[in-house]
Amino acid sequence: MADAVAARWGCAEGTARWWRSSASHVFVLPDTPEPGAERYLRFVPERYAAYGRFTEVASLMERLHGGGLALSAPVRSSGGLLAETVQTTLGTVRAMCVEGAPGESVGLDALSERQAHAWGALLAHTHEHAAGLRDGLPHALDGIGRAAELYPDDTELAAAVGRIGSRLAGLPRDPARYGVVHGDFELDNLAWEGDVPRAFDFDEAALSWYAADIAHALRDLTDGGVPTAAHRPLHDTFLTGYREVRPLPDAEPRALTLFAGANAARSLVELSPVLRTLDEGRPDELDGLRADLVAHRDEQRRVVLAAAG
């Protein structure tokens, strides 16, 4: 599959090396376009939800990079396309290629306050640069009500999701609060050169409240949107960095808790078909994966209930 995809970017057979497979398959192209450099192929099968928006995501990334945002730039194929549809021996995939992000990953335990400030500022710059670039992107939180249908025996969850949905429906969607969001601006989607971050992985780009994007980015520093005592300094420094770039009307604790609950409800909607597929028949080696997903589902349910009050 990777050879067929890599050929669209002028790479010889055997060049691509598997990197990881999660939301998409990722292959590294070492020494491309020159020795010591690297690019990354990213592709998804036709049945994946991301398949339909890969072109829009690649276009968004190109426009953001052209505007000066620090991100991994998409690379056009030999045919001049940002995204290619490729027939492979294992089915049709949609693919894009991006430049490697220079620098290193920084985990939460090693994050300094200066880096937390830069992290918040980069998300604010992302929102600022993406304002108005909404063609073809879904509204991230509009479908959370489906959680009640997908978990019909959980009446407590259904009531909580209903309360969260009602509160979201009353929130303004003006350009100061609502627009294109990254969708997954956590630390594992940043590369650092010292205290300077660069973003990548825009697969979850969508339309939402900017504060919801912040709530998702900070979820490892919080418990259901509320900063933990250990991480409050980093949490508050992140918000300071954000506010120094653009205003943030909905960053008070109650709003961030609400958005954390809404994001968790969205995760429950996305988890349901995955768990159903695993329950329909899985090899024994996937038992551990299912257990992890069940634990994640239960945690997301807890966040929803807490946010709904």
- The pLDDT-based confidence of 241 (bands split at 50, 70, 90) is very high
- The pLDDT-based confidence of 65 (bands split at 50, 70, 90) is very high
Q: Which two tokens stand for residue 28?
A: 């590294």
Condensed to tens digits (0 to 9), the pLDDT of residues 34-57 reads: 999 999 999 999 988 788 888 999
Residue closest to 218 by CA, chosen among 237, 244, 245: 237
Q: Residue 255 to residues 68, 112, 197, 258: CA-CA distances in angstroms?
A: 30, 26, 27, 5
Q: How far is CA 227 from the centre of its chain?
A: 21
State the DSSP string of 108-161. Answer: GGG--HHHHHHHHHHHHHHHHHHTT--TT--BTTTTGGGHHHHSTT-HHHHHHH
Whole-number pLDDT of residue 296: 97
**pLDDT for 221 beyond 90:** yes
* Start-to-end C-alpha separation, the chain: 48
CA dist., res. 205 & res. 216, Å (int): 12
The fraction of the chain above a pLDDT of 90, given in percent, is: 83
Whole-number pLDDT of residue 29: 97
Whole-number pLDDT of residue 22: 84
Print burial letters for 214-228: b (CB count within 10 Å at least 16), e (below 16): bbbbbbebbebbbbe
Do the Cβ atoms of 129 and 68 come closer than 8 Å?
yes
Whole-number pLDDT of residue 33: 92
Count of beta carbons in the 10 Å neighbourhood of residue 91? 11
Place of tokens 């020795």: 35
Condensed to tens digits (0 to 9), the pLDDT of residues 92-142 reads: 999 999 999 989 999 999 999 999 999 999 999 999 999 988 778 899 999
**pLDDT for 254 beyond 90:** no
Whole-number pLDDT of residue 132: 86
CA dist., res. 57 & res. 79, Å (int): 18
Condensed to tens digits (0 to 9), the pLDDT of residues 177-210 reads: 999 999 999 999 999 999 999 998 898 999 999 9
Q: Which residues on neighbouring strands pair with residue 208, listed in sequence order?
A: 179
Note the pTM of the prediction, 2 decimals.
Answer: 0.93
Q: Which of 20-24, 29-33, 238-242 has the lowest mean pLDDT?
A: 20-24
CA dist., res. 40 & res. 57, Å (int): 15
